[in-house]
Amino acid sequence: MAQKTTSDAGRAYHTQCTGDALATVKAHEKDEDITLFGSCFCPFVQRVWVAFEVLGIPYKDLDEVDPYKKPKELLEVSPKGLVPGLRFNRYDPARSLNESTVILDFLEDLAATTTKRSILPPITNPYARAIVRLQADHVNRTLVPAFYRYLQAQTEEKQVEGGIDFHVALEGLVTLLERAERELVGQGGISGQGEAELLQKGLGVWIPGQKDLGWADIMAGPWLFRAKVVLTHYRGFQMPHGERFDGWLERLFEHPSFKATCSTEQLYLDSYERYAFNRPNTSMVATAINEGRALP
C-alpha cells in the first residue's frame, strides 16, 4: 500500500478552477443560451462539463458557484442548491435543469438535433444503448457511493473495508465494459473498418483505438480521476493495474475534452481534505454517507 497522509491541515475547498480547467472557463465567459452553474472541485459538474465539450454545445461557464452557500441564483436552477445546474436564458422567466444524469440525457438529445454528435451508441442499436446505460447505473449506484465511503472512513478497519469495496466496484465496471466489448464489437461477419467503427460508437475509450469518449467514460471519469489523485494521497490507494485498465485510464485522462475540465492536482487534494478527515457538515453527500442514506 502507498503512503497515506494522516493529519488534517485544515485546508478549505477551492472556489476557482486552476490549470486547463481555468483556461476552458475563460474561453466560455461570454453569454450563451445555456449557463452552466458549477464548482471547480465537483465531479457531478465535471460530467456535465465534459459532455458540453464532447458534444460541442455552446455554454457560458459560471465556475465559481459555491453550493455550500446556496446563493439565490443557484437555488433558482437547482432546488436543493446542488451543482451542476443549467439555466436556459432565452426563456422569460428562465427555465432550468439540475441533476447531472438528467442533464447528460438532455445534452445528448439536444446534440442529436443540433451539433449531430453523440456519446451513446446509435438509436438504431437499442441493446448497445441499454448495455452502456447498465454501466452508468453501476457507476451511480455502486462506484460513486463506494468512493465516498472509502474517502470518509476514519478507522483502519473501515478504510480497509472501504478499499476492498471500491476495488470490487471498479472490477464490476470492468466486467460490464468487457461484456459490452464481447457482445457488441467484433462478433464475426464484420465487413470492414467502417462497420467496426459503427459498432464501437458510444462505447468509449475502453475500446483500444477509440478516440471518442462514451457515456460510461463521462459518467465514471470524474471519480476515477479523483481516485487516482485523492484516494492515493489520503488512503494510500493503488489503482488496479493491467494493460487494458491502464490503457483505458490513459486514453480517458488524456482526452482533450476531459483534460480541458481538469484543474491541477493540488486543487483536488485541498478540496477533498474535509472528506478525508470526515469533518462535520462537509456536504450533503458526506452527511448522506455518514447516515447510510442514498446520495442527494
> Which residue ranges make up the site for ligand GSH (CB under 6 A)?
39, 42, 44, 67-68, 81-84, 99-101, 283-285, 296
Q: Minimum Å distance from CB 66 to ligand GSH?
A: 9
- Please state, in angstroms and rounded to a whole number, the distance separating the CA atoms of residues 267 and 116: 34
Give min distance, CB of 64 to ligand GSH, in A.
13
* Alpha carbon 36 to chain centroid, angstroms: 15
Q: Between residues 77 and 82, which has the closer beta carbon with respect to ligand GSH? A: 82
Q: Which is nearer to ligand GSH, 42 or 213 (CB)?
A: 42
Pairing of strands 60-62, 95-98: unpaired
Give 100 or 210: the residue with its C-beta nearer to ligand GSH.
Answer: 100
Contact (CB, 8 A) for 218 and 119: yes
* 87: three-class secondary structure by DSSP: strand
| CB nearer ligand GSH, residue 41 or residue 206 | 41
Query: Which run of H or of E encompasses 88?
Result: strand 85-88
Peptide bond into 296 cis (omega under 30): no
* Nearest residue (CB) to ligand GSH, 242 versus 296: 296
Q: How far is the CB of 140 from ligand GSH (least distance, A)?
A: 8
Contact by Cβ (8 Å): 38, 83: yes
**Which is nearer to ligand GSH, 258 or 268 (by Cβ)?**
268
In the complex, least distance from residue 147 CB atom to ligand GSH, rounded to whole angstroms: 12
User: Could you count the other beta carbons within 10 Å of the beta carbon of residue 265?
Assistant: 16
**CB-based contact 235:151 (threshold 8 Å):** yes
Closer by beta carbon to ligand GSH, 67 or else 214: 67
21 vs 207, which CB is nearer to ligand GSH? Answer: 21
The amino acid present at 102, given as its one-letter code, is: V
The nearest distance, CB 47 to ligand GSH, in angstroms, is 8
The letter for the amino acid at 249 is L
Instruction: Report the nearest approach of ligand GSH to the CB of residue 114 (Å).
Output: 23
Q: How far apart are CA 211 and CA 202, in angstroms?
A: 10
H/E segment holding residue 34: strand 34-37
Sort residue 88 into left (φ over 0), alpha (ψ -120 to 50) or beta: beta
Least distance CB 43 / ligand GSH (angstroms): 6
Least distance CB 103 / ligand GSH (angstroms): 7
Nearest CA-CA partner of 47 in 98, 8, 123? 98
Q: What angle do CA 160, 161, 164 make, to 5 degrees?
A: 85
| Cβ neighbours of 111 (radius 10 Å) | 19
